[in-house]
Amino acid sequence: MARKVFYSFHYVPDCVRAAQVRNMGVLEGNLLATDNEWESVTKAGEGAIKRWIDTQLEGKSCAVVLVGAGTARRKWIDYEIKTAWNAGKGVVGVHIHRLKDFAGLQSVQGANPFGHFNMDRDGSSLSSIVRCYNPPHADSRQCYAYIEANLATWIEEAIGIRAAYR
């Protein structure tokens, strides 16, 4: 049975790249909000956004952060990372900048989104605990194949890392 995961990503620039990962069928992921649904959630304010994210995280065992050029330090992505980690869920990052968008373009590599989180226990960075994978291929097809071949393993590893960090 496939794990249920929550996908976190910067919607506007990375939705096509994120859809490629989500459509691999390796894992069961959260449903994307339609533009209309997301607009109504955001118009309702920060509390509504938090409730929507919290609801999407329910029943998921891991948050998969799909890292694009501008993913790190985005307010709601940070909220998703922090909420998933604090709820005891696995957290893992996957760089998706080499996957092509609808225009056939790749992007630049973004920063590790876990680097600015400090752990209460010892002050170390979350990036020293949570892994953020960068596929070693420049070609979009090879990058896709690499993610597809490894994503389920990365998820299991992230769940194990979080379980060991109690």
**97-131: pLDDT as tens digits:** 999 999 999 999 999 999 999 987 788 899 999 99
Q: What is the DSSP letter of 94?
A: E
pLDDT above 60 for 95? yes
Q: What is the structure's pLDDT at 135?
A: 97
| Average pLDDT of span 64-93 | 97
Whole-prediction pTM value?
Answer: 0.92
Does 1 score more than 60 pLDDT? no
CB atoms closer than 10 angstroms to residue 59: 10
DSSP labels, 19-46: HHHHTT-SSEEPPPPPHHHHHHHHHT-H
6: CB partners within 8 A, 6+ apart: 29, 30, 56, 57, 60, 62, 63, 64, 80, 84, 89
pLDDT tens figures, 10-66: 988 999 999 899 888 766 655 555 556 767 888 889 999 999 999 999 999 999 999
Q: What end-to-end distance do the CA atoms of the chain give, in Å?
A: 26
- Residues 125-159: tens digit of each pLDDT: 999 999 999 999 999 999 999 999 999 999 999 99
Q: Is the confidence at residue 83, as pLDDT, over 60? A: yes
Q: Where are the alpha helices (DSSP H) in the chain?
A: 11-22, 35-43, 46-57, 75-86, 140-164
* CATH C-level class of 4-164: alpha beta
Instruction: Give Rg (Cα) of the chain.
Output: 15
Residue 133 β-bridge partners: 94
pLDDT on residue 41: 83
Contact 132, 54 (CB under 8 A): no
- Provide the residue type at 115 as one letter: G
Average pLDDT of 70-77?
A: 97
Q: Which of 70, 73, 76, 74 is nearest to 56 (CA)?
A: 76
